[in-house]
Amino acid sequence: MNVLGIETSCDETGVAVYDIVTGGAAGLRAHAVYSQIALHAEYGGVVPELASRDHVRKLLPLIRQTLDEAGLKLSDIDGVAYTAGPGLVGALLVGAAVGRSLAWALEVPALAVHHMEGHLLAPLLEDGAPEPPFVALLVSGGHTQLIAVDAIGRYRLLGETLDDAAGEAFDKTAKMMGLPYPGGPHLARLAEQGVPGRFKFARPMTDRPGLDFSFSGLKTQVLLAWRDCDQSDQTRADIARGFEDAVVDTLAIKCERALDAAGCDVLIVAGGVGANKRLRAKLAEMCERRGGRACFPRPSLCTDNGAMIAFAGALRLQAGQYDDAAIRATPRWDMATLPGLVA
Ligand code: KG4
Ligand code: ZN
């Protein structure tokens, strides 16, 4: 069963074909991502209208390219899954209109997929994936959430950020120190040259019980440190290292608490910040110490992509779920309202 996945919620056009019968990593027949980074770079952030227009330009050629790479024809597609939210409404509408119309023309079922469920399920596309229950850490540019996954489709929010998302904190901090957009990966690369411990920032909200996060104060601490230092290349790297260590430690402390609260030792991690090497190492070590494990998607499936949408859609379509003919775009959408995979 070949499911075409379409992702256009923000500044990446992603397309993939996932074959749920083959399953595992081999089920991913092909996937392609076109990033709009260069388009938005001169503005220092995503410009929604430019994003929508670029999805219009890139989506159909990317679908053709992905089908070619998979060695498939349009008539081999058994279902279409597209991101319906959360995200930028204009950008979402492009993928939704193309995805829903294509399914209509091919007379196959279509399904509106929740972008964060796509991220959350991405680690399960890899071989040797765990079965629920487990705890999921979702760390992207717009979200930082700890979720108890009782079953696929049954999500309980354990904690979330009260202000900036982890990725947003990386991006804003990087921008403050003059790094190019989007700053997260640039800051992480710079941190590799930094001396650990020269700058020690707070681990916000770890001194009290609870599973919520707050990253905006940390950003201010970095701003003050950056303003008052010599601003040399080495100092910039040292500050980057101090910031990254603070975010990674904070996430690891809260993940461990969430595992305690949920009574399990398996953590899955997804979203763009999940590509961060130091975060991956720290969470793997923490879970192993408890006799459990941490599972991640490959780094290219941490950031926005069509594979996670094809996979999430394939699981639901296989369970018999599909939508009516409406073109759905839901910029704000609570994941807890999703139906379970089995009734
Ligand atoms: O999941 P994603 O691609 O888009 C959203 O749905 O938000 O996440 C993008 C975020 C950005 O904030 C980006 O800076 C961050 O993930 N990011 C990283 C790394 N790679 C991407 N942050 C830290 N270290 C990285 N290696
Ligand atoms: Zn995302």
DSSP string, 213-259: B--HHHHHHHHHHHHTS---HHHHHHHHHHHHHHHHHHHHHHHHHHH
Tell me, using a 6 A CB cutoff, whether residue 141 lines ligand 1.
yes
Residue 343 binned pLDDT confidence (cut-offs 50, 70, 90) = low
Question: From residue 45, how far is each of 12, 141, 143, 178, 222 by CA, in Å?
Answer: 13, 11, 17, 14, 20
Say if strands 2-7 and 79-85 run parallel, antiparallel, or are unpaired: parallel
- In angstroms, rounded to a whole number, what is the distance separating the alpha carbons of residues 39 and 44? 10
Q: Distance from the CA of 292 to the center of ligand 2, in angstroms?
A: 26
Quick check: 55 pLDDT over 90?
yes
The reply to whether ligand 1 has any atom less than 6 angstroms from the CB of 66 is: no
- Ligand 1 centroid–CA 109 distance in Å is 31
Ligand nearest to the backbone CA of 117: 2
Closest approach atom of ligand 1 to CA 171: 14
Beta bridge partners of 293: 266
What ligand 1 atom has the least distance to the C-alpha of 115?
Answer: 6
Model confidence at 342: pLDDT above 90:
no
User: Ligand 2 center to residue 9 CA distance, Å?
Assistant: 8
User: Which pLDDT belongs to residue 59?
Assistant: 98
Pair 93, 6: CB distance under 8 Å: no
pTM over 0.85: yes
pLDDT tens across 165-223, in order? 999 999 999 999 999 988 999 999 999 999 999 999 999 999 999 999 999 999 999 99
pLDDT in tens, 103-116: 999 999 999 999 99
Look at residue 230 in the predicted model and tell me its pLDDT.
97
At 21 the pLDDT is 97
144 lines ligand 1 (CB under 6 A): no
Task: Specify the ligand 1 atom closest to the Cα of 304.
Answer: 3
Average pLDDT score, the chain: 97
Q: What does the pLDDT look like over 248-294, one tens digit per residue?
A: 999 999 999 999 999 999 999 999 999 999 999 999 999 999 999 99
Q: In the beta sheet, which residues pair with residue 226?
A: none
